[in-house]
Amino acid sequence: LPIVVKAFEMEIIPANRIVAQIGETLILTCNSTGCASPSFSWRTQMDNPLGGTVNNYRTYSTLTMNPVSIVNSHHYVCTVFCGEKEKKEKNIKVELYSFPSDPIIEISPSLVAGERVTVICKIPDVYPSHHLEVLLKKEEHVVHEKNFYEDDSTNTETKTVTYSFNPTAEDIGKEITCVAKLPIANMDFEPKERVTSQKLNANFGPQNTIITASPGNLPMEGDTLKLTCVTESNPPPQIVWRKHLAEESIQHLIENNVLSIPHARFTDSGLYICEVINLVTNKTEKATVDIVIQDGPKHTMISVIPATAVKEGETVTMKCTSSGNPAPVISWKKKAATGESEKIFKDATLTIQNIKSQDVGLYECEAYNQFGKEEKAVKLLVQVPPQNITVLVYPSENVKEGENVTITCSTYSNPPSQMVLKKVHQEKEIILPSVNGTFILYNVTKNDTGRYLLDVFNEVGNNIQVIDIAVVGRLEKSNQMIPLIIAFSCVTAIAVPVVAILIYVSRKAKINGSYSLVKALRLKV
């Protein structure tokens, strides 16, 4: 079969004529066929600057205008060379327009009955403006029209149409419409008509300003609180939120009609103020709402004055505090020995005057409201000096030599008492310390005759008991060891008795086998 050789041809895409909007991107493409290695050239018919970027490829070339501007309004010619002898060229006409956005209406001043009003309609960036037609309508009635047929602008321009009139009360709320048309024959683009409308509104307000609270002005702690400021105002007002603080100062919050507080806390309670300002009417209006965050009792605490351990007869004040909303009701209970609690007082402050030992115990403060309760406890101790002391001497305070004498004491005190037994001597006083309350004197002698002082004491007081012991008769036993055992046990109403035995051993009696308690004690004390 014979080989078919394709003839050298070219084309421009789009062909012959293109309509483009100023500011957009336009790409012209020059294609060739039937030539293995074509070369391309672009120019304008009048040899103006191209105003674009050329990119050559193997069989085609592009001219990109980004963005298209008024300088691109030309006939563009593409020439294709195939070898040294063959060349072809074609041209395309670029036609431009600009009609990018709807008209803008301004009414100045804003409508006030009795004052003349000027309506201004602006049509942005129009080209070619000598085709522009503008209509102004009130509702459906044309009140003004203007065309720009005589305009000779050579680039995009914003065109303005102005219309003034004396408004009536019936005009309030009517619609002013601006219709702009750019009817260019034989130019294919859309839209060729743009419309904007605006109502004739009077300036007023702010008025009838209120605050709505969601979920209400008594939210629970942890809720999301949303406060919305609603008002009537034209033009729309500037809105500022503030909050009254405890020290009468004002805290500036936000400038928005909605104030949102996620996870509301007790400290978010307070008086909130919405201030609405119309900058045109120069009027201000305020609305307030009192927000109370509700919650069960928290942070319950007990304070005790002067202390939790006091002396008998003193006055103790116990104060219970708790936060919560509504304010918790405070009551006091005292825990009995059985473990049950008995309600004794209904107030935040419990005062016990002339405190006694029977007031000792565990005191509970209960804080309660409809959302819950919280309890705290404090242990009250009453310090009592030794009292109700009983001293027994067995067999009696008058004994014979060689007998044993037992001295016992019992007392009530808090904290537990300590005791010492003292023998008053003409030369010096001998002190016998002990932690228990039973003294046993074994094999007493006449030298043990005398006055003994039993000192019972604790941190808050002491009590001294006097004991006179008389030893008669004589027991003849010489050169023997006589043990003296002193044991002392303290029997109190608070501490369990612990028996300790202190053993003192005397030296040998030198005279007639007699025993001296004083001399024996000197060896150990």
pLDDT at residue number 481: 34
Q: Is 347 helix (H, G, I), strand (E, B) or coil?
A: coil
For 371-389, what is the mean pLDDT? Answer: 89
What's the pLDDT band for 112 if we cut at 50, 70, 90? low
Q: How do residues 460-512 score in pLDDT, each as one tens digit?
A: 889 999 999 999 986 454 433 333 333 333 333 333 232 222 222 222 222 22
pLDDT at residue number 113: 47
**Inter-residue contact 203 to 280 (CB < 8 Å):** yes
| Average per-residue pLDDT for the chain | 82
Cα–Cα dist 30/35, whole Å? 14
Residue 183 or 421, more confident? 183
Q: Is the pTM of this model over 0.85?
A: no
For 89-108, what is the mean pLDDT? Answer: 93
First vs last C-alpha separation in the chain: 147
Which of 330, 331, 326 shows the shortest CA–CA distance to 266?
326
pLDDT at residue number 128: 93
Instruction: Give the DSSP per-residue string, 130-184.
Output: GG-EEEEEETTEEEEEEE-TT---SS-EEEEEEEEE---GGGTTPEEEEEEE---
**Inter-residue contact 19 to 83 (CB < 8 Å):** no
Q: How do residues 220-269 score in pLDDT, each as one tens digit?
A: 888 889 999 999 887 889 999 998 876 666 777 777 889 988 888 888 88
Q: Could you give the domains of the chain? A: 9-97 (2.60.40.10), 104-202 (2.60.40.10), 214-291 (2.60.40.10), 296-380 (2.60.40.10), 385-469 (2.60.40.10)
